[in-house]
């Protein structure tokens, strides 16, 4: 992705699912069954579980000395707690007002692949309200396979050779499957055994070990996008260890492959239609007064013919997929004015016109390996394995039918394509939520989320109606908490005082 397009991704662009179960391992019954490497003393003191002595050696973080960073040694495979271990990276930002402290607030910003440590150290002070920062220790952790927690590493050269996610026949489908198998083995070799245990259910068990290491009887949790899957499954496994849980941009882990990909496509298409409506009624839109849909379709058609160049790198053509992916990421904000200006700029390009030559820059030697955790997590959380080209082509046709102008769902399509050829068995297969012991959980979701369709939230709520409260935000964009006073106050009041919105409440668009 070129710099012009990267500028449109927004703060949580990696949180697509963004997307996004009781498969093996240890059960949730009993502290002693969850991590022989970090035993917990049996007595409780003043309502809190005593912290493990020196379990996490917190020291000032390099990025911000006001936050503390450390690691927690945990088993790679929770079914074999005495086996190989890895270090879970953890960050803590203590409550600003200790006298009003409620407890810990564990956070995950999504992905799969976003860093909870980075969120706690760098982003939390501007993300959360002053009251939440005053009353909670913000605890971020990098899920296994991510960031500082034994990251999934793959050969940079092999990653650059990825074939098209849109095979045109069985031979190209087979080529994609062979490539995925080769890449999977390459990543396993560079990463080690954590690669085979990067699923969300393993992360959930890590999170409960973190709770015990912090000396907390119960936790509070804030999860966004793919981080909602961590929260949902923690509530299934350890519901009685939750004080409060707020989930925004929810993932529905019960969806089959066709439902998942077509609903994702419908979400992207809905955001495009919202963009068109905004342009038609907003004079500051660079396409105001024009047929926005016609301009967009024409730009993509010209890209198909190789006629559109990256304005910042005129020697490089842009594909329709590149442009659609950039628009998709812009909808996260939504960053509509920037997107409109980009489309107008691409539309103004004349075929064969001379472009200014890009300035030469020093070439940086590429690293031999790079972090690539997405598929290690995604392909162990979902049984999405189209068996042949015929099945895959049918999925693609359904996807395009659901999103004719966006041409499907760029990121989710690539996510599913990356699992072709993987083993059929997964660690954490899809299923309907079964939450029995958790307190009331607050869910927020944008009506026009570009990545996680609003139906995902309503379906999760339907499965857990006795446990969850759904508060819709009637506007657009992927993030929800900081949209306006309504969304922010709903989360803050719930986390601090356990006050939930009245049934049927909603937050208007800002």
* List of residues 6+ apart from 477 with CB closer than 8 A: 331, 332, 333, 334, 446, 448, 449, 450, 483
Give the range of the structural domain holding residue 112, as residue numbers without chain letter: 18-39+50-151+199-256+435-497
5 cis-preceded (ω within 30 degrees of 0): no
Q: pLDDT tens-digit profile of 481-493? A: 999 999 999 999 9
Residue 220 lies in a domain: yes
Q: pLDDT tens-digit profile of 15-39? A: 333 333 222 233 333 333 333 333 3
Q: What average pLDDT does the segment 372-398 reach?
A: 97
**pLDDT for 207:** 98
Total structural domains within the chain: 1
Residue 22 lies in a domain: yes
**pLDDT for 347:** 97
Helix-then-strand count for the chain, H and E: 17, 13
User: Distances in Å between the alpha carbon of 343 and those of 67, 232, 317, 347, 450?
Assistant: 42, 39, 15, 6, 18
Residue 292 lies in a domain: no
Residue 439 has pLDDT above 80, yes or no: yes
Q: What average pLDDT does the segment 441-461 reach?
A: 98
- Residue count (the chain): 510
**pLDDT for 350:** 85
CATH, residue 456: 3.40.50.1820
Query: CA–CA separation, 23 vs 205, rounded Å?
Result: 12
Q: What average pLDDT does the segment 375-398 reach?
A: 97
Residue 444 lies in a domain: yes
Residue 389 has pLDDT above 50, yes or no: yes
Residue 226 lies in a domain: yes
Q: pLDDT tens-digit profile of 248-300? A: 999 999 999 999 999 999 999 999 999 999 999 999 999 999 999 999 999 99
**pLDDT for 37:** 33
Q: How much is the mean pLDDT over the chain?
A: 89
334 cis-preceded (ω within 30 degrees of 0): yes
Of 203-207, 272-276, 307-311, which gets the smallest average pLDDT?
Answer: 307-311
Of 175-189, 210-224, 340-354, 395-409, which gets the smallest average pLDDT?
Answer: 340-354
Q: pLDDT tens-digit profile of 44-69? A: 333 455 454 358 999 999 999 999 99
With cut-offs at 50, 70 and 90, classify the pLDDT of residue 363.
Answer: low
Q: pLDDT tens-digit profile of 78-91? A: 999 999 999 999 99
Tokens of 282: 């907003």
Residue 131 has pLDDT above 70, yes or no: yes
Q: What average pLDDT does the segment 171-182 reach?
A: 98
**pLDDT for 411:** 86
Residue 134 lies in a domain: yes
Q: pLDDT tens-digit profile of 90-111? A: 999 999 999 999 999 999 999 9
* List of residues 6+ apart from 10 with CB closer than 8 A: 329, 330, 332, 333, 335, 478
Residue 359 has pLDDT above 70, yes or no: no
Residue 418 lies in a domain: no
């Amino acid at each position: 992705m070129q710099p012009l397009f990267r500028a449109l991704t927004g703060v949580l662009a990696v949180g697509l699912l963004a997307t996004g179960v009781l498969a093996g391992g240890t059960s949730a019954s009993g502290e002693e069954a969850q991590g022989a490497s970090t035993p917990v003393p049996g007595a409780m003191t003043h309502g809190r579980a005593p912290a493990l002595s020196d379990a996490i050696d917190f020291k000032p973080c390099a990025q911000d000395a006001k936050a503390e960073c450390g690691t927690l040694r945990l088993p790679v495979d929770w079914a074999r707690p005495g086996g190989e271990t890895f270090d879970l990276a953890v960050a803590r930002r203590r409550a600003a007002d200790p006298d009003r402290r409620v407890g810990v607030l564990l956070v995950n910003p999504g992905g799969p692949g976003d860093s909870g440590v980075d969120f706690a150290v760098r982003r939390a002070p501007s993300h959360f309200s002053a009251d939440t920062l005053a009353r909670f220790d913000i605890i971020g952790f990098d899920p296994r396979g991510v960031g500082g927690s034994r990251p999934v590493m793959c050969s940079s050269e092999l990653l650059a050779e990825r074939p098209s996610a849109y095979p045109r026949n069985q031979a190209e489908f087979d080529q994609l499957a062979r490539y995925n198998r080769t890449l999977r083995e390459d990543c396993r070799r560079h990463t080690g055994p954590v690669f085979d245990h990067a699923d969300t259910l393993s992360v959930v068990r890590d999170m409960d070990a973190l709770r015990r290491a912090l000396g907390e009887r119960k936790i509070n949790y804030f999860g966004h996008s793919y981080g909602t899957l961590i929260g949902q499954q923690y509530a299934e496994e350890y519901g009685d260890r939750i004080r409060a849980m707020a989930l925004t941009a929810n993932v529905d882990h019960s969806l089959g492959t066709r439902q998942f990909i077509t609903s994702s496509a419908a979400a992207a298409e809905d955001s495009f239609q919202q963009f068109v409506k905004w342009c038609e009624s907003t004079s500051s839109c660079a396409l105001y007064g024009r047929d926005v849909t016609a301009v967009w379709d024409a730009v993509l058609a010209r890209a198909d013919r190789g006629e559109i160049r990256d304005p910042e790198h005129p020697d490089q053509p842009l594909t329709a997929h590149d442009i659609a992916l950039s628009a998709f990421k812009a909808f996260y904000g939504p960053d509509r004015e920037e997107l409109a200006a980009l489309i107008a700029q691409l539309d103004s390009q004349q075929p064969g016109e001379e472009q200014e030559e890009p300035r030469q820059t020093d070439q940086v030697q590429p690293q031999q390996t790079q972090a690539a955790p997405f598929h290690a997590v995604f392909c162990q959380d979902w049984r999405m394995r189209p068996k042949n080209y015929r099945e895959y082509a049918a999925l693609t046709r359904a996807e395009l039918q659901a999103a004719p102008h966006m041409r499907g769902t760029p990121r989710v399509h690539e996510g599913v394509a990356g699992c072709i050829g993987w083993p059929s068995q997964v660690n954490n297969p899809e299923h309907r939520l079964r939450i029995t012991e958790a307190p009331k959980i607050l869910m927020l979701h944008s009506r026009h989320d570009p990545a996680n369709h609003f139906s995902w939230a309503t379906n999760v709520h339907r499965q857990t109606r006795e446990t969850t409260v759904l508060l819709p935000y009637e506007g657009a964009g992927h993030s929800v908490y900081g949209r306006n006073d309504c969304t922010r106050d709903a989360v803050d009041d719930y986390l601090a005082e356990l006050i939930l919105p009245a049934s049927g409440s909603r937050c208007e668009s800002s």
